[in-house]
Structure 1
Amino acid sequence: MPLITDSSIDIDAPADVVWRVLTDFDAYGEWNPFQVECSSTLEPGAPLDMKFRLGPGGLRSAREYIVDVDPGKTFAYSMKRVPLGAVRSLRRHTVIDLGDGRSRYESHFEITGPVSGLVKLTLGKELVAKFASVTEAVGPRAEALARS
Structure 2
Amino acid sequence: MENGSSEKVSFSHHRIHTDIVIDAPPEVVWSVLTDTANYGNWAAFLVGIKGEIKDGSKITVDFLLDPSKDKLTTLDHTITVVDGTQFYWAEKGPGGIRDNHHFRVEPLDGGKTRFVQSDEIIGGITFLMGGRLAKMYVDGYQAFNRGLKAEAERRAQSD
TM-score between both structures, scaled by the size of structure 1: 0.86
Q: Is the 8 A contact 1:63 1:79 kept in 2?
A: no
- Matches of 2:139 and 2:57, distance apart in 1: 27
Q: Which of 32, 37, 52 is the aligned partner of 2:48?
A: 37
Determine if the alignment matches structure 1 residue 6 to structure 2 residue 17.
Answer: yes
Bigger shift: residues 5-14 or 97-106: 97-106
Q: Is the 8 A contact 1:38 1:50 kept in 2?
A: yes
- Matches of 2:102 and 2:19, distance apart in 1: 12
Structure 1: where are the runs of 5+ without partners? none
TM-score between both structures, scaled by the size of structure 2: 0.81
Counterpart in the other structure of 1:69: 81
Bigger shift: residues 8-17 or 132-141: 132-141
Q: Identity of counterpart residues, as a percentage?
A: 29
Determine if the alignment matches structure 1 residue 109 to structure 2 residue 119.
Answer: yes
130 and 79 in structure 1: CA distance in 2 versus 1, 3 angstrom threshold: same
Count residues in correspondence.
145
Q: Deviations along 1:65-106, whole A, 9 cap, x unmatched?
A: 20x211111111133489xxx531111111011133211101
| Matching residue's letter, 1:39 | K
Determine if the alignment matches structure 1 residue 24 to structure 2 residue 35.
Answer: yes
- Matches of 1:99 and 1:109, distance apart in 2: 26
Give the drift of 1:57: 5.7
2 and 97 in structure 1: CA distance in 2 versus 1, 3 angstrom threshold: same
- Matches of 1:33 and 1:81, distance apart in 2: 20
Structure 2: where are the runs of 5+ without partners? 1-11
| Matching residue's letter, 2:54 | E
Quote the RMSD (CA, aligned, Å).
Answer: 2.2
